[in-house]
Amino acid sequence: MKTLSVTKSIITLVCCLMLQTTFAQFGKANKIELPETYNFDYIYKLKMTHKKGDMTMDYYLKKDAKYFGFDTAEMSKSSKDTKMFSVIDGELEVVAMFMEMMGKKMVQKTAIKTSDFNADEEDMSSYDVKQIASKTINGYECEGFVSENDKHIITFYITGDVDVSFNQVFGSSNAKNLPKGFDADLMKKYAENGLMMEMIYEDKKKSKNNMTMLCTGLEPTDFSIDTGEYRSMLGAFGG
């Protein structure tokens, strides 16, 4: 359930960042010193299917890292000459948006509280959960679960056969809010390396809210960001 909560929060965050004024300053965030580089091991490709249309996001993950990156065509579709890539650093509690535009490399930093991502997590204590048949997704063996209450049915598949996870950044789910019948040992099992590969969300009252999230690929990468190449937005334009 962690990946669902994190993904919803990231989509909201992306929208907020896209609406910020180009030369906006973010107070204390500007004083945060980023590491020299952000390195990544995997690209986690996620496709979200909704009645209003599909959306794809690429998450960049690294083993044991307290950060991850993400990229989406929605952030730069207005200009083919603009590139954007964001990193959420849970340890520094900052979102760094790295941009290339008008021949310049710029970084925009926004302070966040990682606890806000956990606070956004839905209380699952009202759900009943049962384990269903496992299945293979993109070559990974995944355990299946269905959690249900009077409003929603959520079917999800998790694999523990990878060495990366979003939990390394935000921590595992709150054990006090576990669904009824959920084996607490599964929390421990997936605390470090649990990665959601598919999620089917069904709203019993409003089918327009139904949504599917599917990992379409988990690919090795040696992508990295050299933060020293990026200047503040005002600095890049001589401010």
Amino acid at position 148, single letter = E
Q: Same domain, yes or no, for 131 and 111?
A: no
Q: Over the stretch 57-69, which tens digit does the pLDDT of each residue have? A: 899 999 989 999 9
pLDDT mean over 140-149: 90
Note whether 113 and 88 are same-domain residues: yes
Give yes or no: residues 59 and 87 share one domain.
yes
Residue 65 within any structural domain of the chain: yes
Across 89-98, 169-178, 192-201, 226-235, the highest mean pLDDT is recorded for: 89-98
Whether the Cβ atoms of residue 42 and residue 58 lie closer than 8 Å to each other: no
Q: Quick one: average pLDDT of 193-209?
A: 89
Pairwise pLDDT comparison (103 vs 7), residue with the higher score: 103
Are 137 and 148 found together in one domain? yes
Asked if residue 187 is part of any domain, the answer here is yes
Per-residue confidence (pLDDT) for residue 9, from 0 to 100: 47
Higher pLDDT, 217 or 236: 217
> If you average pLDDT over residues 96-114, what whole number do you get?
86
**Looking at the domain assignment, is residue 107 inside a domain?**
yes
* 160, 193 Cβ separation under 8 angstroms: yes
**Does 41 fall in a domain?**
no
Which DSSP state fits 180? Answer: B
pLDDT digits (tens, 9 = 90+) for 161-193: 888 888 777 655 444 455 555 555 665 667 667
Position 45 in a domain = no
Residue 177 and residue 93 share a domain? no
- Asked if the structure places residue 88 within a domain, the reply is yes
Number of domains in the chain: 2
Based on the domain organization, do 177 and 140 belong to the same domain? Answer: yes
Q: Cα separation of 197 and 217, whole Å?
A: 9
Which structural domain range is residue 224 located in?
Answer: 2-31+55-117+220-236
pLDDT greater at residue 186 or residue 86: 86
User: pLDDT at position 12, please?
Assistant: 45
Do 6 and 112 sit in the same domain of this protein? yes
Residue 225 and residue 213 share a domain: no
pLDDT of 41 higher than 90? yes
- Give the angle subtended at the CA of 15 by the CAs of 40 and 2, to the nearest 5°: 55
- The pLDDT value given to residue 11: 46
Neighbours of 48 (CB within 10 A): 18
On whether both 12 and 113 belong to a single domain, the answer is yes
